[in-house]
Chain A
Amino acid sequence: MSDVSLVVNGKRVSAAVEDRTLLVHFLRENLGLTGTHVGCDTSQCGACVVHVDGKAVKSCTMLAAQASGSTVTTIEGLAEGADLHPVQAAFKENHGLQCGFCTPGMIMAATDMIARHPEGLDEATVRDELEGNICRCTGYHNIVKAILAASQAMSGKSKAA
């Protein structure tokens, strides 16, 4: 067993877990944060993306013990108060989701992507940067649109497509 202690969505949490516990299972089962999903076994689909110490990572490919001492943000902690985060709002306004299963990972990936591109985003970059997130419903069309809109809303910048 490992004693893990993290700050998740601003709250300090501690627990003793089996060493083999993945971060995603710790979040879902120990903390009840079920917005983070598991969609594959091979670290490819990105439904499990969360931010660890400010960076998007796949929580299915990291042990909870590895993350001990880190600060974690999940989809549940993205918005401040009752307002939606601009990326969440853009996904809704642009119909960037259908079944909603990949959506938390998509939004966490998009938030990270926008932060890494303060210069603004274009369509090709967004598509390229979505390499690690699979959606089966939307054909990505409206996800790309939502991320471009959010990028623009957040930075006031976007590059011509």
Chain B
Amino acid sequence: MYSVNYHRASSVADAAKLLASEDAKALSGGMTLIPAMKTRLAAPSDLVDLGHIADLKGITVSGKTVTIGAATTHAEVANNAALKQAVPAVAHLASLIGDPHVRHKGTIGGSVANNDPAADYPAALLALGATIVTNKRSVAADEFFTGLFETALEDGEIITSVSITAPDRAGYEKFRNPASRYAIVGVFVAKGPNGVRVAVTGAGDEGVFRSSELESALGGSFTPEAAAGVKVSADNLMSDMHASAEYRASLITVMAKRAVTQANG
């Protein structure tokens, strides 16, 4: 790791001030950033630790509105009783991230801000039409995830929470890369008053995306059979040594089918 200056932010405003310096980076759970720094692939001049800001933590469920603080860990999301009741698919998704130790440190805000193309949360937020709340504004998930490791966040902008409206039904299934255990394909399906939304992570060559084919099939009939009947195009899917685009395309259908089965309980 290159030399770096560590700062512990006491509040969101403090963090924003500290992040003003050039090449400063926000540090939440650090589960992606620190490994990248260890291998010298990331070299921020300053790290601004958001992990001790009480305002960024916690989950509130009020009616159908779920708010998850940005510094809430995956383990906290996976085990939150109210959330498990309101949107069990999100708790389930969180329980599948990394491993128990990673889930104790990694946070939803960190994952969303990083927008790794194989991360799980972006699929949930996109499929649920979530709102990403920052210290400056609120951004709809549809506008937030803009490409590989790219988001609508501006320099110095900090995610403070994520807000979700509970759907009627939702499910998430992923197929892991055998080595890294990140998603090769993860499919989040959600059925709500405004119809069916399906988001796919791990597969798109521009990151998380909505599958119009699956949305229209499942909009007609929210059944595993309907999902199974969709042939997803391999165009615009990633291809690497672990999974070709064709394989990913096939897995999208299979995972969608399983996610719908799960959603339908």
Question: Hey, which bits of chain A sit against chain B, CB under 8 A?
Answer: 2, 18-20, 22, 41-44, 46, 49, 55-58, 60-63, 65-66, 68, 109, 112-113, 116, 129, 131-133
Complex partner residue of B100 from A41, A43, A65, A113, CB under 8 angstroms:
A113
Complex partner residue of A20 from B4, B30, B31, B35, CB under 8 angstroms:
B4
B190 to chain A, nearest CB (A): 25
B181 in contact with A56 (CB, 8 Å):
no
B180 to chain A, nearest CB (A): 8
Tell whether B62 is near chain A: CB-to-CB under 8 Å.
no
B5 in contact with A58 (CB, 8 Å):
no
B105 in contact with A46 (CB, 8 Å):
no
CB-CB contacts below 8 Å: B1-47 with A: 1-6, 8, 27, 30-31, 34-35, 37-39, 47
Interface of A is mostly: mixed
Interface of B is mostly: mixed
B100 in contact with A131 (CB, 8 Å):
yes
Smallest CB-CB separation from A65: which chain B residue? Answer: B6
Interface size, B (range): 20 to 34
Tell me whether A66 and B51 are in contact in the complex, defined as CB-CB below 8 angstroms, given that A20-B3, A20-B4 are known contacts: yes
Complex partner residue of B101 from A19, A42, A46, A68, CB under 8 angstroms:
A46
CA distance A131 to B31 in the complex (A): 15
Tell me whether A56 and B35 are in contact in the complex, defined as CB-CB below 8 angstroms, given that A18-B3, A20-B2 are known contacts: no
Complex partner residue of B35 from A61, A109, A113, CB under 8 angstroms:
A61
